[in-house]
Homo-oligomer: A and B are copies of this chain.
Amino acid sequence: MGGNSMEFQDQLNEYIQLVDRELERLLPDEDILQKSVVDAMRYSVTAGGKRIRPVLTLEVCRMLGGDPHKALPFACAVELIHSYSLIHDDLPCMDDDAMRRGKPSCHIAFGESTALLAGDALLTLAFETASHAPQTHGTGCEETLRAISILSRLAGVHGMIGGQVIDLESEGRGIEYPVLHQMHLLKTGALIKAACQMGAAAAGAQEEDLDKIGEYADALGLAFQICDDILDVVGDEAQLGKPVGSDKQQQKTSFITLFGLEESRSNAQMMTTLAKESLASFEHNGFLLALTDLLLNRNK
């Protein structure tokens, strides 16, 4: 199944629509006193994310013989956590970014305190959504707890948040490759890994398959981050929806500052090959192989 085939595109669009509809259902819509924060939550969640993580959750579940609908609450949970992390990352005390996906950042649009609370609320909603999976989607109780355990571990201080801390502390001073590697493995990779492994959990996968999927996700996460670093140098501002050159401006170490553009490109290619090789033992891997190629060749 090639990345441009009709079949692949149809399946991808179906997944994205499934996630978008469910996210819309999850966001509270009553006219409550705390409406401002609900508006900020919706603004960020519906701001045009590519839904890469939830698609990975649904497809890994399907590839391993599970019913993707049983993974839908986890797909939404990982996207809610992704959204919260972007809101908090953009805050003045963090990266201080005024633009996100071509629109004013959440704190520019709603104020700093509302943005802070909207992030907290999305993080909390992620776990609420996952915990309801048995009621809303007939997911098994043990599968659900396993998914929550994966997500909370990989979104926390040993995962995504850990990566943000390393990133913060390395700003303005050069870091060595091992630190950069660890930072990206956590900051970008951990949530991608959570997305994939929760899909496996929903399918009731054995520990061995969970590990294999973890290897795939680690390689994909690194390839994805190298692409991000490349796009920060050569990307198109209008397509990206944010200014390019921000890494250089913030004196951040990136794959580009350490290895240059050409070697970074070949590193990304190598990581993508590694990722695809980790999928070799799975029979129905066509969609995921095509998706992996698509993510490497993206321009935003």
Contact = CB atoms under 8 A, between A and B. Distances in A.
Question: Which secondary structure dominates chain A's binding surface?
Answer: helix
Given A88-B116, A121-B156, A128-B156, A34 B161 contact: yes
Interface in A118-175: 119-121, 123-125, 127-128, 131-132, 134, 141-142, 144-145, 148-149, 152-153, 155-158, 161-166, 168-169
A33 interface: yes
Given A33-B179, A157-B37, A165 B128 contact: no
A6 interface: no
Contacts of A217: none
Interface in A43-82: none
A145 B135 CA distance: 11
A114 B33 contact: no
Contacts of A250: none
A237 interface: no
A11 interface: no
Contacts of A120: 84, 88, 119-120, 123, 161
Given A141-B142, A144-B145, A153 B128 contact: yes
A157 B93 contact: no
A156 B124 contact: yes
A179 B183 CA distance: 45
A91 interface: yes
A1 interface: no
A270 interface: no
B161 A37 contact: yes
A246 interface: no
Given A120-B161, A148-B148, 20 more contacts: A28-B158, A32-B162, A33-B179, A33-B182, A34-B162, A34-B163, A34-B186, A36-B165, A37-B161, A37-B162, A91-B116, A117-B164, A117-B168, A121-B156, A125-B152, A127-B152, A128-B153, A131-B152, A141-B141, A145-B145
27 contacts: A33-B162, A33-B182, A34-B157, A34-B161, A36-B165, A36-B169, A38-B157, A41-B157, A84-B120, A88-B116, A88-B117, A93-B112, A116-B116, A117-B161, A120-B120, A120-B161, A121-B156, A121-B157, A121-B161, A124-B156, A124-B157, A125-B152, A127-B127, A127-B152, A128-B153, A131-B145, A134-B145
